[in-house]
């Protein structure tokens, strides 16, 4: 489990297709403290560490299934690409964002950006199948970042991203047309399921 509070920006050092896709990701995390088998959210996608090293700088490797590549924006990664990273939540950690599973539901697209004071208002288009799970003032994880929804219109929704968030994540380099991983709020998922189940009884 994660919180959607990004704690490092990683860089893709290498990509290798060998059955599954293997990615090597540079990180500022002390790699001596990353256990093999640990979960790290990479742009919001929970991936398992399969190797670590420190030459010429700290890195970890992850294997990525074809299913994960198909359901996320991982297929857009290239060497040099920067991604948001978050270590898994530990008991006793501060829950600063919202509960995030790291199971990406689909890919949204940035369709507009405009300045609002020092912040930036982003407008996204979500997949139609996910639009009903996104509500004003609700939470959503985008590229692994916990964000609050401002408004919703059909499959389009907006969020404001403050300067601090742009500085400590990859949102400062975002552009219109970018594809972003989206994970809907867990509570919204279960409310919808209960409503569906209730209608079948």
Q: In this structure, are residues 179 and 17 in contact, taking their beta carbons and an 8 Å threshold?
A: no
Domains 8-87 and 106-200 share a fold: yes
Q: How confident is the model at residue 125 (pLDDT cuts 50, 70, 90)?
A: very high
State the Cα–Cα distance between residues 78 and 91, nearest whole angstrom: 34
On the question of pLDDT at 201 being above 70, the answer is no
Alpha-helix runs per DSSP H in the chain: 66-71, 128-131, 163-168, 186-200
- Encode pLDDT of 20-61 as tens digits: 999 999 999 999 999 999 999 999 999 999 999 998 899 999
Residues 6+ away with beta carbon under 8 Å from 162: 118, 119
- Measured between alpha carbons, how far is 142 from 180 in angstroms, rounded to an integer? 6
HSE-CB for 106 with a 13 A CA cutoff: 15
CATH topology classification for 8-87: Elongation Factor Tu (Ef-tu); domain 3 (2.40.30)
For tokens 């293997």, name the residue.
Answer: 22
pTM reported for the whole predicted model: 0.92
The correct answer on CATH 2.40.30.20 for the domain covering 106-200 is yes
Q: Please report, for the chain, the start and end positions of each structural domain, with discontinuous segments joined by +.
A: 8-87, 106-200
């Amino acid at each position: 489990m994660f919180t959607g509070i990004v704690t490092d920006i990683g860089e893709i050092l290498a990509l290798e297709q060998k059955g599954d896709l293997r990615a090597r990701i540079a990180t500022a995390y002390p790699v001596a403290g990353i256990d093999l088998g640990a979960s790290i959210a990479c742009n919001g996608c929970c991936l398992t560490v399969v190797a670590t090293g420190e030459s010429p700088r700290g890195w970890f490797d992850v294997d990525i299934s074809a299913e994960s590549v198909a359901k996320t924006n991982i297929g857009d990664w290239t060497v040099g690409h920067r991604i948001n990273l978050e270590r898994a939540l530990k008991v006793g950690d501060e829950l600063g964002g919202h509960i995030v599973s790291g199971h990406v539901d689909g890919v949204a697209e940035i369709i507009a950006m405009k300045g609002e004071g020092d912040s930036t208002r982003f407008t996204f288009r979500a997949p139609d199948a996910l639009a009903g799970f996104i509500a004003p003032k609700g939470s959503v994880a985008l590229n692994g970042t916990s964000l609050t929804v401002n408004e919703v219109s059909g499959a389009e929704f907006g969020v404001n991203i403050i300067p601090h968030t742009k500085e400590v994540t990859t949102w400062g380099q975002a552009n219109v047309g970018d594809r972003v991983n989206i994970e809907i709020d867990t509570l919204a998922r279960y409310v919808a399921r209960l409503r569906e189940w209730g209608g079948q009884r």
